[in-house]
Amino acid sequence: MKTALLLFMGLLSISTMAQSPVRLAVAGLSHGHVGWVFNRADKKDIELVGIYEPNPELVNLFAEKYKLDKKLFFSDLNKMLDQTKPEAVSAFGAINEHITIVRACAPRKIHVMVEKPLATTFSDAKEIRKLAEQNAIQVMTNYETSWYASNQYVNDLVQQGKLGDIRKVMVNDGHQGPKEIGVSREFFEILTDPVKNGAGALIDFGCYGANLMTWLLKGERPVSVTAVTHQNKPDIYKNVDDEASIILQYPKAQCIIQGSWNWSFARKDMEVYGNKGYAVAVNPTVVRQRLSEKSPEETIKLDPRPAPYTDPFSVLADVVQGRLKLDQNDLYGLPVNVTVVEILEAARNSAKSGKTVFLSK
């Protein structure tokens, strides 16, 4: 009887541990996507234990808007990490601050998830990779397009050989512009700062295509990067580009990335053309495909991706607790996203110099 009771208590303990929420801290409140973490009361996979934000105006704004205890807030990152002891940190500040967050978290064995892209410079991206490897932590990069069932479907067609060899990919991302869609003052200040954001539309939306193409090609780096940027609205975007076109050249394929703050409407779509057929991810759940010369084009309507892929914090929780292991070339993972930053830096240099940039082997 005693043995059975002990066994039952052990199983109960294991079950309780498996369902314990991940202790999560938030670093920064200036990013426009941060509201997501406060709007998921229906999910119990994370527990918010601390918020780092040095701007008292933002602290007051978020504390009032989401009815948050002021004890959650810290103006010192290291103090927050040491006092709250999170298992993971989600970064919602400027992109160039991602390296600072990882430098603080890695030695403390705290996992990190940042909003796209991983960093503003290739040197920062490589340092992040080194810190993650040395300290055995995950550093994940969240992209909205990672949640799209359509992109997963198209990638499956590629991996199954139904499109043949990839020859051309076109990725179009963006919207009417940060000011035009009404982002917050703090987020606008980040997006239009060439240091904090790294560039304008080139970084903000060029990163999606670099992420998806590197994933489709299983981590392959391009041979060269050519980019053209422009300011169509210099009165609004004085210090950064609002229009960017990037060409990634591979030995047998080409990718054209169009990142823009000048689209008529918001869009995130991808066209993949192989030597056997093509597929177009029109939106998160719709694909247009033609798989042979003799077959007509058809439209495929998909269900949204299943849990945990409907919510980046659920993905983070599953990775931290070992229920989910990222593939070598996962859209969230470091290998792909370090290459993304290498591509973006080459694109920025190409646009500045007016010349094609060749990547070292």
The alpha-carbon radius of gyration of the chain (Å, integer) is: 22
Same domain? 85 vs 68: yes
The mean per-residue pLDDT over the stretch 96-105 comes to: 98
Check whether residue 132 and residue 160 sit in a common domain. no
User: End of a domain among 117, 141, 165?
Assistant: 141
The band of 18, judged by pLDDT with boundaries at 50, 70 and 90, is low
Q: Three-state SS for 26?
A: strand
Structural domain boundaries, residue 88: 22-141
pLDDT, tens digit, for every residue of 236-257? Answer: 999 999 999 999 999 999 999 9
State the pLDDT at residue 353: 98
- Judge whether 254 lies within some domain: yes
96/35 same-domain check = yes
Nearest-10 Cα torsion for 161, 163, 165, 171: -130
Length of the chain: 361
pTM metric for this prediction: 0.94
Domain annotation covers residue 89: yes
The predicted-structure confidence for 2-15, as pLDDT tens digits, reads as follows 444 444 445 444 44
- Phi and psi, residue 226, nearest 5°: -125, 130
- pLDDT score of 42: 87
The tokens for 275 are 């030597």
Is 195 found in the same domain as 285?
yes
pLDDT at 19 over 80: no
Q: Residue 315 above 90 pLDDT?
A: yes
Q: Is residue 235 located within the same domain as residue 300?
A: yes
Question: Which pair of tokens denotes residue 317?
Answer: 């929780």
Q: Is residue 12 part of a domain?
A: no
pLDDT at 13 (0 to 100): 44
| Residue 317 covered by a domain | no
Total domains in the fold of the chain: 2
Q: Are residues 90 and 170 in the same domain?
A: no
Same domain, residue pair 227 and 111: no
**Whole-angstrom Cα distance, residue 320 to residue 325?**
9
105-148 pLDDT per residue, tens: 999 999 999 999 999 999 999 999 999 999 999 999 999 999 99
- Cβ neighbors of 251 (< 8 A, separation 6 or more) are 223
pLDDT band at 162 (very low <50, low <70, confident <90, very high): very high
Burial 83-112 (b: 16+ CB within 10 A, else e): ebebbbbbbbbbbbbbbebbebbbeeebbb
Query: Average of pLDDT values for 215-225?
Result: 98
**Domain C-terminal end among 125, 141, 157:** 141
Quick one: pLDDT at residue 361?
Answer: 86
Mark 198-230 as b/e (b = at least 16 C-beta within 10 Å).
bbbbbbbbbbbbbbbbbbbbeeebbeebbbebe
CATH number, domain at 128?
Answer: 3.40.50.720
User: In the prediction, which pLDDT does 247 show?
Assistant: 99
